[in-house]
Every structure is written in C-alpha cells, then in structure tokens.
Chains A and B, each alone.
Chain A
Amino acid sequence: MSAIERYEVPRDVETAAEILRGGAVTILAGGTDLMPQSKAGRVSFGKVLMNIRRIPELMGVAEADGMIRIGALTSIADLLELDTVGRRLPVLWQAADQFASGQIRNMGTIGGNICNASPAGDTLVPLLVLNAEVELASKAGGRLVTRRVPLRDFLLGPGRTARRPEELLTAVAVPVPPDGFRARFAKLGTRPALDISTVSVAVGAVVRGGAAEDVRVAFGAVAPRPIRGPRTEATLDGRPLAKAVIDAAAEVAHDEVTPIDDVRATAWYRRQMIHNLTKEVLSHVAAA
C-alpha cells in the first residue's frame, strides 16, 4: 500500500529544495536501498516521491579551494572510473572496488550511501578517514542556502543522520589529502562480492621520516554508525609504524570498538577481526 500522492522529477537543486520545503518527501536516487527497504516494509513513503536523478548539478567531481567535491549522484561505478578518485583518493577507490556487484555499483550513488547511514556503509569508512564534509541545500526565506557538516557529525545512528527533512544532500567534499598521505581500506565479509561488511577498517597517515603523523583511523560495522578511533589514532601519532607500534595499536582498536552480536557475526568475532584488519591495514600503510 502506498500513500504517495505526487511523483516529482525536478531538473535543478532549486526546484528540488522547493519541493522538499513542502514536507513529507521521500527522496529517490539509485533506489538500491529504498526499493528493498520499502518492499520489506522497513520504510514507508511520504506523500511525495521525488526522483533526483535528473538533476545535472548533483553529478560530477570538481576540485576547488583545496577541496575535492563529489556530486551526490556519483555512482559507485563512477568512483572507480574517475581519475581524480583513483589518483587522489585511492582509499575511497578501494572501498568502491569492494562494493556489492557490478550492477549495484552502476545504480547506487555516494549520496544514497551516506544518507542511508548504515553502520556498514562502505564509502563512509574511507570518507571519515578523508575528513569528508557533506553539503546540504535547502530553501529559506526564498533563497537557496547550503551548509556543510563534517561527516562524523552527520552520521547519528543506523539510518539516522543530521539531515533536516527539508534538506537535500548535494555533494560530499573532501579536503585534498596532505603531501605524503597514505591510506588504505579493507573489509571483511563471508564472500568477496555482494556481502555487507562484517567489519571494515580504513587507516590514513602522513608518514614522514619514519614517523606517522596526522593519523586517522575509522571502523565500520562495530558501532551504531561508522566511527573514528581516537584512541587508536593516539597510540600511532608521532610514532614510527614499526611492528611493536602496529601490534599495540591493533590491541587498542580491539578494545576501542563496541560491536554487537547479530546474524552476520558475534561481537567477539568482530573485535578479533578489527584487531587483525587494523594490523593488516597498518602494515600496508607502513609498507606503501
């Protein structure tokens, strides 16, 4: 049963924001979360279904003022094909490469992945390590206004974000990583394709003269939302990425995460795997 009264296909952000101001709008991008979730009865539609896939402003990647801005409609497949992502944000590329299947990558968008706010959302973990900010547009006092929110403040819990109902996520912006920044993502599932991450880890750092600086660690599927690991980061900051340091950091990571038991894995197993993956990813960053 659907209570949808109107179907809208805006051609620009301004019109989309105007429609959102009217309230009770369900936004449709690739539909790869919305369709299964609505069929399963886990989400119900608002009065208006708004398809944002015909808005050119939400497409494409651009670099300006030290930020790389990725349009909300950029598909996971696009991320793999965009030279900017492959060269400048390889950690995001790695997550896209391990995402679902070819078909889902062709449909699913980065904006949808962010707004769906799954604890296991695969682009979210590298985006946290890249200090990403989301760009939100809305209509206020007859004008289009935008605000930027750090991703770590935007994600609140499973399926919950700081997006106000009248806001459209227009892009995700990532500061150009500093010189010498190396980062890596790894996820664990029961099979390579089409598996929701049991756990995932991304680590980034500037390795200079042997020591790691600006260390950033993020974990997926071990908390109600993808999280940064400040305690793990602190054990690494300013230290050489030697085996003893990596082992110590993996121990801290093991204790820092707060996973749950569910159908995919037990909390105990998740902690062990966070330990192992953190070690693996750090060793790769050290060797890069």
Chain B
Amino acid sequence: MSLLREIRFTLNGVARQVSVPVTMTALAMLRDVLHLTGTKYGCGEGECGACTILVDGRSVNSCVMFAVDCDGRQVTTIEGIAADAQWQPLRESLVEHGGVQCGFCTPGMVVQASHVLSRDPHADRQAIKRGLEGNLCRCTGYKKIVDAVVAVADAGGKVAP
C-alpha cells in the first residue's frame, strides 16, 4: 500500500481537497481520482503533450508531475479552458481550419496553444511552431493546427470579453 497524502489546490477555479498516493502522477489524479478525463494519457513519458495542463499559469506534462506537487497551486485543465470564453476563438479556429481529426491530441494542443498565446498574444508562426513542439499529432500533419493558432494570434490572440 502506497503512502497517501492529503492535498488542497485550486482546480479550474474551484478549491479541491483530495487524498493521493505520493508517487501518483498528476495525470492519474485528474483522470482516475477526480474523473476529469479531458486530459489524455498518450505516452506517459513527457514526450507527446496529450496530458498538458497549466500549473500556476505554466504548461506542464501532467504524466511526469507528481500529484502531491499540486498542493497549494492553481491547476487548469482542458475542462477549465473549455469553460473560459476567452478561448472561444481558439476553439472555433481549430474547427474552421480542420485542426481536429481523431481529437486525441486536441486537449493538450489547446492547453499548450492557450499557454503560448497568453504569454505572447501576437506570437508569430515560428514562435507558435516552437511553442507546440512538445505536442505530437498522428493525424493532421500539424499544418492545420499551426494555421489555426496563427489565425488567432493574427487577430490579437483573444477577443474582448
């Protein structure tokens, strides 16, 4: 039996308290304990970006993060981004540009793209490509995804609320 630890953190704006094994990944906590399954398990090794979440505003691979390290932090998952009107243009742009096929990479892509655009709302194509380097997609060939994010950046990254 693995040692458990009680942690408290803010998840998509809501205070949460949960007991987790100390060696559990943040990804397993989100999916298996909190049943937020938008965040995907791809490689489990930090290589594919399907599990990307934001912790204190920085994007990380939740599959290599220890869940206990979420204690006291602000965690945002794709469910949080999906509920945020600020990212409506990004979602629409992905649909318009055909940036979604099977959709498995999409949650991670959207979280990482939101991170890139938050840090630089006018990021150019090169910066966007570099920003998405850690997110693999087996379907689209990337061009459509990059086009979709570039279109949002050209428009200033966000719409006025």
Interface residues, chain A, with chain B CB atoms under 8 Å away: 1-2, 4-7, 9, 28, 31-32, 34-36, 38-39, 45, 49, 51, 53-54, 77, 100-104, 106-107, 192-194
Contacts and interface: CB of A to CB of B under 8 A. Distances in A.
Contacts of B65: 31, 35, 107
Contact of B46 (A7, A53, A54, A104): A104
Given A7-B22, A101-B49, A194-B47, A107 B66 contact: no
B69 interface: yes
B71 interface: yes
Given A103-B59, A106-B58, A193-B133, 9 more contacts: A2-B2, A5-B3, A31-B65, A31-B66, A36-B46, A51-B66, A53-B69, A102-B115, A106-B60
21 contacts: A1-B2, A2-B23, A4-B3, A7-B22, A32-B61, A34-B66, A35-B25, A35-B66, A51-B66, A51-B69, A102-B112, A102-B130, A103-B52, A103-B61, A103-B134, A104-B134, A106-B58, A106-B59, A107-B60, A107-B65, A193-B133
B116 interface: yes
A101 B44 contact: no
Nearest to A107: B60
A103 B133 CA distance: 9
A104 to B, nearest CB: 6
A2 B21 contact: yes
Interface in B34-72: 44-47, 49, 52, 58-61, 63-66, 68-69, 71-72
B42 to A, nearest CB: 12
Given A4-B22, A31-B69, A102-B115, A36 B64 contact: yes
A35 B43 CA distance: 13
Contacts, number: 87
A5 B58 CA distance: 31
A263 B16 CA distance: 44
A6 B3 CA distance: 7
A79 to B, nearest CB: 14
A196 B72 CA distance: 32
A104 B5 CA distance: 25
A77 to B, nearest CB: 7
10 nearest interchain CB pairs? A101-B134, A193-B133, A106-B58, A35-B64, A7-B22, A103-B61, A103-B134, A2-B2, A107-B60, A4-B3
Nearest to B43: A36
